[in-house]
A and B are shown apart, each in its own frame.
Chain A
Amino acid sequence: MIDWTAIFSNAAQELISPTTAAYALAALGLAIHFGYTGLLNFGQAGFMALGAYGYAISILTFGFPVWAAVLVGVGASIVFALILGIPTLRLRADYLAIVTIAAAEILRLTFTTNTFASVTGSASGLQGYKTGFAELNPIPPGTYGFGPFTYNAYDWWIRIVGWSLVVIFAIVTWLIMRSPWGRVIKGIREDEDAVRALGKNVYSYKMQSLILGGVFGTLAGMIFILPRSVVPANYQTSLTFFIYAILLLGGAATILGPVIGSMIFWVLLSFFSGFVARAVAAGWLPFMTQVQAGQLRFILVGVAIMLIVIFRPQGIFGNKKELAFVK
């Protein structure tokens, strides 16, 4: 009746999918912002959009090589972070939240508008930018792997690159967070006036954190578009909230949290959607249509996240001790 093998193998594939890697990297950036520095960035989707469009437009419109396209995306996100940070980082944390959520929407709407359709592709987005990246692939053509993890050379290439980036940046984050720099950053999260009174330029540190986490988001945006095309509708506010969900699931001020959180999130999402869709098709849920079933998975994920926040508020890898003291 229900093809359990298909459900489980689809869910297992999400474990190493490039999308999972992209979300993990974006969540790692958010961990730097929110978990370590205490910056409420609700515009991570905007940083991802800049990565996606910066990369695709550089290649399609300007014919840049891959490395230059990556630099353009990173440069754009640094400028974006500066524009967001200069007016707001001197203010209370909530102002950054308002400004980032609005700025990310402004970016998405700018990419969607017909005015720049020749460059951005408007609502239908962009494709055909993958040739340069595929040419760098050292894996000879063919199909590799076992069980559910059987892919062609290009699919393996994007997985390898995506997860290598996640590993590299997780190590970088781990290194900087255990250094004196990380100490200042965590101090700012606790009380920025106290850190200021000790002679640290808090404004500059918050800006560095915003830029660094934003660049992580931008690189995540580039990984995100490698297995698909660039579509502006992907960069809605809900993307930011999914990344927050992953972060809270794994533990906000942790390194492994965002990575494992992203894996759990996508495996669960795939499992729920596969299960519900097949259950509806099999007539187990007679009150539900296929379209409704497509939405149900988000409800189930929402419930799962609520349960985690209630029963394990520090996340999977978070330190329980950190929550023993209410500020």
Chain B
Amino acid sequence: MSSDTTPTSTPVKTTGLHVGDAGPGCRKVDPILIADGVKRSFGGLTAVDVAHVEVPRGAITALIGPNGAGKTTFFNLLTGFDRPDSGKWEFDGRSLAHVPAYRVARMGLIRTFQLTKALGLLTVLDNMKLGAKGQIGENLFRSILPFLWRKQDDEIEAKALEILARFKLDAKKDDYAASLSGGQRKLLEMARALMSDPMLVMLDEPMAGVNPALTQSLLDHILDLKSQGMTVLFVEHDMHMVRHIADWVIVMAEGQIVAEGDPHTVMQDPAVIDAYLGAHHDTDIGATDTGHVEALKELIDDEQ
């Protein structure tokens, strides 16, 4: 499984991101996103209860955790798509409390969705152009007068074509986004996010449902974001990929941050193993779990 997704060149890892010991909620040298006491419950279920977490700037941070750990809910809270019951959170030094989702995006925090949201009946090029910020022609009254926005629109189109070429979607530019494959839609969504020159890109399961051939190209694109100076925070289940590209890993379980650290050490953290397999994974409670244990052991062996 790992052999076909591992690229030939090894990405350069960013280190020295944290201050003091690596652990849940540890301080970072230069955080771009800080969440403090963010709590969200649905009825009796506490989906997210994050005491403190900082996301380091200029690095690729992975948010991992078993299903139902609250990763996507946490994403929604950070990006204004959902409101927490309590807590403070700030992006680049500015508070995000009560800031609507579209303003969060304008501040430079762009997200993608777990279930891809390509705008099906718009062409690929229109999807891209929609991503650009501060468009003159998006005002109703100015939109009637093409000479006001034509020049800016041409510039946006040139930029869109350039990014599309990088994502190898330029041949598809006039097709409806609905005609793209699942993996191509993931690429389009990521490419569209880049149209606004974001500071922080938050990717919700960028690899879900993408075939191995395209996985490689997606991985390279994520690494590329970092080399262009953007910060990336992504949710992922594929541990090989996390280990391969992430500079920092935050582990969530049952709504809380249970571990943090660089990918190599965090995978051996007992709290992480507990989170994925339950605290009693090594006591024999039947044959059903052994497969998972094997898989994890294999992962750890792989590492050493």
The CA of A186 and the CA of B120, in the complex, are separated in Å by 10
Pick the contact of A193: B113, B126, B136 (CB < 8 A). Answer: B113
Of the candidates A181, A189, A202, the one whose C-beta lies within 8 Å of that of B143 is A181
Q: How far is the CA of A157 from the CA of B9 in the complex (A)?
A: 76
Listed stretches A119-127, A129-137, A171-179; interface member: A171-179
Complex interface residues of chain B between 133 and 154 (CB less than 8 A to chain A): 133, 135-140, 143-144, 146, 149, 153
| Complex Cα gap A222–B101 (Å) | 40
Which of B106, B130, B135, B139 interacts with A195 by CB under 8 Å?
B130
Say which residue of B102, B129, B137 sits within 8 Å of A199 (CB atoms).
Answer: B102
B126 & A183 in contact (Cβ 8 Å cutoff): yes
Distance in Å: Cβ of B177 to nearest Cβ of chain A? 8
The answer to whether A172 touches B129, judged by C-beta atoms less than 8 angstroms apart, is no
Does any Cβ of B come within 8 Å of A228's Cβ? no
Q: Which of A174-206 contact B (CB under 8 A)?
A: 175-176, 179-184, 186-187, 189-191, 193-202
**Chain A residues proximal to chain B, CB less than 8 Å:** 172, 175-176, 179-184, 186-187, 189-191, 193-202, 208, 212, 321-322, 324-325, 327
The residues in B between 159 and 189 inclusive whose CB is less than 8 angstroms from any CB of A are 176, 178-179
Are A197 and B113 also in contact (CB < 8 A) when A181-B143, A183-B129 are? Answer: yes
Q: CA–CA, A199 to B195, complex, Å?
A: 11
Q: Are A179 and B192 in contact (CB under 8 A)?
A: no
A122: min CB distance to chain B, Å: 38
Within 8 Å CB of B179, what residues of A?
324-325
Q: How far is the CB of A166 from chain B (nearest CB, A)?
A: 17
What separation, in Å, do the CA atoms of A202 and B117 have in the docked complex?
15
Give the residues from 82 to 130 in chain B that come closer than 8 angstroms, CB to CB, to chain A: 100-103, 105-106, 110-113, 117-122, 126-127, 129-130
Known: A196-B101, A196-B105, A197-B105. A183 touches B122 (CB 8 A): yes
Question: Are A198 and B110 CB-contacts (below 8 A) given A179-B137, A193-B81?
Answer: yes
A176 with B143, Cβ < 8 A, contacts A197-B79, A197-B111, A199-B196 known: yes
Q: Is the CB of A187 within 8 A of B122?
A: yes
A-B contact pairs, 13 of them (CB 8 A): A176-B144, A183-B126, A184-B130, A187-B119, A194-B113, A195-B130, A197-B105, A199-B133, A200-B138, A201-B102, A322-B121, A324-B178, A327-B178
Contact partner, B122, options A172, A180, A190, Cβ 8 Å: A190
Q: Are A190 and B120 in contact (CB under 8 A)?
A: yes
Bound CA–CA A199/B153 (angstroms)? 17
Instruction: Give chain B nearest CB distance to A4 CB in angstroms.
Output: 44
Bound-state CA distance A77–B38 (Å) is 43
Which residue of chain A lies nearest to B198 when distances are taken between CB atoms in the complex?
A: A199
Taking a contact as CB atoms under 8 Å apart, the answer to whether B79 and A187 are in contact is no
Smallest Cβ-Cβ distance to B189: which chain A residue? A194
Q: Which residue of A lies closest to B138 (CB)?
A: A180
Kindly report which residue of chain A lies nearest to residue B101, judged by CB atoms.
Answer: A196
Task: Report which B residues bind A (CB closer than 8 A).
Answer: 79, 81, 100-103, 105-106, 110-113, 117-122, 126-127, 129-131, 133, 135-140, 143-144, 146, 149, 153, 176, 178-179, 192-193, 195-196
Shortest 9 CB-CB distances between A and B: which pairs? A199-B105, A180-B137, A194-B117, A179-B143, A181-B143, A325-B178, A190-B119, A199-B106, A180-B138
Say whether B110 contacts A175, CB under 8 Å. no
Residue in B closest to A201 when the chains form the complex, CB atoms: B102
Contact A198 B139 (CB under 8 A): no
* Bound complex: CA A190 to CA B124 (Å): 13
User: Which residues of chain A are near B100, meaning CB under 8 Å?
Assistant: 201
- On whether the beta carbons of A180 and B153 are closer than 8 Å, the reply is yes
In angstroms, how far is the closest chain A Cβ from the Cβ of B250? 21
Question: What CA separation (Å) do A184 and B139 show in the bound complex?
Answer: 10
A217 to chain B, nearest CB (A): 17
- Chain B residues with CB below 8 A from A212, complex form: 140
Known contacts A187-B119, A191-B119, A193-B81; is-contact A198 B143 (Cβ 8 Å): no
On chain B, the residues within 8 Å of A202 by CB distance are 102
In the complex, chain B residues whose CB is within 8 Å of the CB of A179: 137, 143-144, 146, 149
Q: How far is the CA of A200 from the CA of B140 in the complex (A)?
A: 13
CB distance A200 to B102 under 8 Å?
A: yes
The one of A183, A187, A196, A208 that contacts B140, using a Cβ cutoff of 8 Å: A208
Contacts of A195 in B (CB 8 A): 119, 130
CB-contact partner of A196 in B102, B112, B135, B139, under 8 A: B102
Give Cα distance in the complex from A116 to B255, angstroms: 60
Given A187-B130, A193-B117, also A180-B149 (CB < 8 A): yes
- Kindly state the separation between the CA atoms of A16 and B52 in the bound complex, as whole angstroms: 69
Chain B CB within 10 A, most for which of A195, A196, A322: A196
A325-B113 contact, Cβ under 8 Å, with A175-B143, A184-B130, A199-B133: no
Q: How far is the CA of A74 from the CA of B38 in the complex (A)?
A: 46
Q: Chain B's nearest CB lies how many Å from the CB of A38? A: 10
Q: Inside 8 A of A201's CB, which chain B residues have their CB? A: 100, 102
Knowing A180-B153, A198-B105, A198-B192 touch, does A325 contact B119 (C-beta < 8 A)?
no
Apart from A187-B122, A195-B130, A201-B100, 5 more pairs, CB < 8 Å: A175-B143, A180-B129, A180-B149, A183-B126, A196-B81
**Distance from A95 Cβ to chain B, minimum over Cβ atoms (Å):** 19
Known: A186-B122, A196-B102. A175 touches B146 (CB 8 A): yes
Chain A residues in 8 Å Cβ range of B117: 191, 193-194, 197
Give CA–CA (A152, B81) in the complex, Å.
60
What is the CB-to-nearest-CB distance from B234 to chain A, in angstroms, rounded to a whole number?
A: 15
Q: Which residues of A contact B146 (CB under 8 A)?
A: 175, 179
- Chain B residues with CB under 8 Å of A180's CB are 129, 135-138, 143, 149, 153
Contact A181 to B121, CB < 8 A, known contacts A172-B144, A196-B102: no
